[in-house]
A and B are shown apart, each in its own frame.
Chain A
Amino acid sequence: MSLLIRNARVIDSASGLDGLRTILVDNGRIAAIAEASACFRAEDEIDASGLWLFPGAVDLAAWLREPGLDQKATLESETRAAAASGITTLCYQPEPGASFDSAAQVKLIYDLNGRRRSANVEVLGNLTKGLKGEQLSNMASLKRAGCVGVTNGLQPFHSLQTLRRAMEYAATHDLTVFIYPIEHALAAGGYMHEGEVSTRLGFPAIPSAAETVAVAQTLALASHTGARVHFCRLSARLSVKLIRQAKESDLDITADVAAHQLFLTEMDVSDFNPLCHVMPPLRSSRDLEALREGLADGTIDAICSDHQPHEVDAKLAPFQQTEPGISALETLLPLTLRLVDEGVLSLPEALRKVTAAPARIIGSEAGRICVGAPADLVLFDPDDLWELDLNRMYSDGKNTPFAGWNFNGAVKRTLLAGKSVFVG
């Protein structure tokens, strides 16, 4: 099965390519990249005049819920939402109730997703058994089963010693450790950022230090153990500074931020809006600015969705009783591209943060347009203006605070290994 995509503006941040090209896809991979005028023949052809073509997004964190928490979402519903949003690879974020201690559990996900593939699903295995923070997981077999990294998610470690050992063992098997930096003793009982809004609303709060203390500790252990560490969901100004400094030394570390942290602050919680209940919490506008600076100067490598779909009831209660998280697949690309409109990143840099950079963090060959790369591609109409409407979301989770936001540009078609998995 071959496919020709003609006249698209091809943007590939990995190679620096940005220009009108014709792309030949064969057997699920990119077979040729040529001038727009090139004469190729293929079984199928798409005229992409006026459209952009870039690699499908690679999302480092999606809480996919199935099996175990299917009342919130399923692999099928969420991979379909991913395809409709220009995301072709999702990393399954383990959580209590849906986590990966064994190769069989990992294989189950690959099998489930394989039946009706709308997006690739990669798996982050458990760093400790049951995410309990006490015993090491079977990391070697998790790796053999295909896990692209290991993590303890938002769950605490029994002690720093456990974390140290887990990092050493992961390093033994050349596995990247995905760390959510949070010192639970400082965060315990908190629901939002500690600052003027939590004071006004009277919420038990989470200080920025709950994150920065953990970043500092993890950096020290990364230096000690030589483990490759990926810092997940930075939210605090000082965290960015610490990671910037650490990157200047020769530590093997990377970092990401959730897209919503770049647009929302503690002020968005002012009306007790449970849709803005997230972990780590939305912080101050100074933190937001620092995160944007960290993205621009490369301190923060990737932007992820931190997609957490919920059933309606999970958000239908007073703020403190609601579950944290945003259904965010459908806003990952729109928010990332909005950073271009707001002058934070250039277009290729913005795309790199959701394609080549995250792909590299999980050791994937996706996220780039070059001959031989998988044909995971997005055709995008930059002139299509649309408004996010909850009733038209693809995800099973409708929990987003971005309803009613207007976005510039829309996904017209998503290809996964050369096959159209979404046509808008």
Chain B
Amino acid sequence: MLNAHLSPGPLPSRMQLAADGKLKHFLTIEGLPPLLLEEILDRAEQFVTVPNKQQKKAPLLRGKTVMNLFFENSTRTRVTFEIAAQRLGADVINLDIRTSSASKGETLLDTVRNLEAMNADMFVVRHEHAGTAHFIARYCAPHISVLNAGDGRHSHPTQAMLDMFTIRQKKGSFQPLKVAIVGDVLHSRVARSQIHALTTLATGEVRVVAPKTLVPAGIEKMGVSVFHNMDEGIADADVVIMLRLQRERMQTALLPSEREFFKLYGLTEERMKLAKPDAIVMHPGPINRGVEIDTRVADGEQSVILEQVTNGIAVRMAVMSMIMGPQGGAA
């Protein structure tokens, strides 16, 4: 027992797949085969809602219990997971851990053991520390699957997949595309997962655009090119992804002011002219109008920001059903 606890487990990318190559946990995009990412996108197509049409429940997960473990609050993300699980016929239980056990001093492992005892099939986990979903996946009972809904600055794989879904919907294939990711890459788990997804899907060029204070060390090793000048960074881009900039970045001396940031890196109509004429604008939300993106661009014709949200449900349904559905990796 002691041994099992202390010996290092397999790499996160390795432990996500069952012996037959099917998805068992979804913790990070890194290391997953391109075919599996495409399978997620293909399956999500089946779940996309058509406006004004009653969405039929696809009860692939009837009898399964999904527990949303949110150690860090996020109403929006939690709700999309909740809707996805319900549409698949699963029972959903939401646990806001910050206000319960963790604040009473219970260790994470004890919390997990207790929830396991309540017959959960899947934990959807969000936590402020990188590696938490991986930790839970390593130590929870073998019949349970873990879906990472965001861990620290590390990974947010369903967000990245819904972004890939949106890009594929609009652009078809990834190979010819130039994608610019703009803003606070340093603190962004979304950016890291997007980069892994885009490079796995063989995107033509992936760029990150930000001042040096917001670009983490050695990010080139992830297969991206770094631009500090916005005009050069979005020149000729097919996809412009803006990241949320949090106000506290000004307090920690990473940036001088919102105004200067907007002047240098804010996405305006003027700047969008540098991108391809049919370029799309994306944002994982919530957006800060006038900080990283101008209102006219956020609400403009090239913006697909709200479609991203809609696609989020389909992509999460796809991932959940691939893990827990008939012939899933947890079966």
Contact = CB atoms under 8 A, between A and B. Distances in A.
Contact of B192 (A200, A207, A273, A275): A200
A159 interface: no
A270 interface: yes
Contacts of A391: 2-3
B12 A320 contact: no
Interface string A48-83: 000000000000000000000000000000000000
Contacts of B151: 202
B134 A196 contact: no
Given A200-B192, A318-B131, A391-B3, A195 B217 contact: yes
A199 B7 CA distance: 24
B178 interface: no
A403 interface: yes
B129 interface: yes
B216 A199 contact: yes
A267 to B, nearest CB: 11
Contact of A398 (B6, B129, B152): B6
A199 B241 CA distance: 19
B56 interface: no
Contact of A390 (B7, B130, B152): B7
B152 A194 contact: no
A59 to B, nearest CB: 23
Interface residues of B, number: 35
B155 A199 contact: no
A401 B218 contact: no
Given A195-B217, A312-B2, A202 B155 contact: yes
Contacts of B139: 316
B222 A318 contact: no
B130 A319 contact: yes
Interface in A368-424: 390-391, 398-399, 401, 403
B135 A270 contact: no
Contacts of A316: 5, 107, 109, 139
B32 to A, nearest CB: 14
A345 to B, nearest CB: 28
A199 B8 CA distance: 21
A44 interface: no
Interface string B8-24: 11111000000000000
A271 B8 contact: yes
Contacts of B184: none
A382 B7 CA distance: 28
Interface string A298-332: 00000000000000110111111100000000000
B30 A200 contact: yes
Given A196-B217, A203-B152, A271-B11, A318 B132 contact: yes
Contacts of B218: 195-196, 199
A321 B108 contact: yes
A200 B135 contact: no
A319 B3 contact: no
Given A196-B218, A270-B11, A271-B11, A202 B6 contact: no
Interface residues of A, number: 32
B6 A390 contact: yes
A201 interface: yes
Contacts, number: 98
Contacts of B216: 198-199, 205
B316 interface: no
Contacts of B12: 271-272
Given A198-B216, A199-B222, A317 B108 contact: yes
Given A202-B153, A272-B135, A317 B6 contact: no
Interface string A272-303: 11010000000000000000000000000000
A350 B220 CA distance: 38
A399 B5 CA distance: 10
Interface string A227-248: 0000000000000000000000
B135 A317 contact: yes
A390 B11 CA distance: 21
B87 interface: no
B126 interface: no
A204 B152 CA distance: 9
A316 B131 CA distance: 12
B135 A318 contact: yes
B154 A201 contact: yes
Interface string B197-237: 00000000000000000001111011000000000000000
Interface string B121-162: 000000101111011000100000000000111110000000
Interface string A106-125: 00000000000000000000
Contact of B8 (A194, A203, A275): A275
A390 B135 contact: no
A144 to B, nearest CB: 42
Contacts of B134: 271-272, 318
A290 to B, nearest CB: 18
Contacts of B5: 312, 316
Contacts of B3: 390-391
A317 B5 CA distance: 10
B189 interface: yes
B107 A317 contact: yes
A201 B130 contact: yes
A271 B108 contact: no
A194 B130 CA distance: 15
A320 B107 CA distance: 14
Interface of B: 2-3, 5-12, 30, 107-109, 127, 129-132, 134-135, 139, 151-155, 189, 192, 216-219, 221-222
Given A201-B131, A316-B5, A321-B108, 8 more contacts: A194-B217, A203-B152, A271-B8, A275-B6, A318-B131, A318-B134, A319-B130, A401-B8
7 contacts: A202-B152, A202-B189, A317-B135, A318-B132, A319-B129, A320-B130, A390-B3
5 nearest A-B pairs in the assembled complex, by CB-CB distance = A202-B153, A196-B218, A202-B154, A272-B131, A199-B216
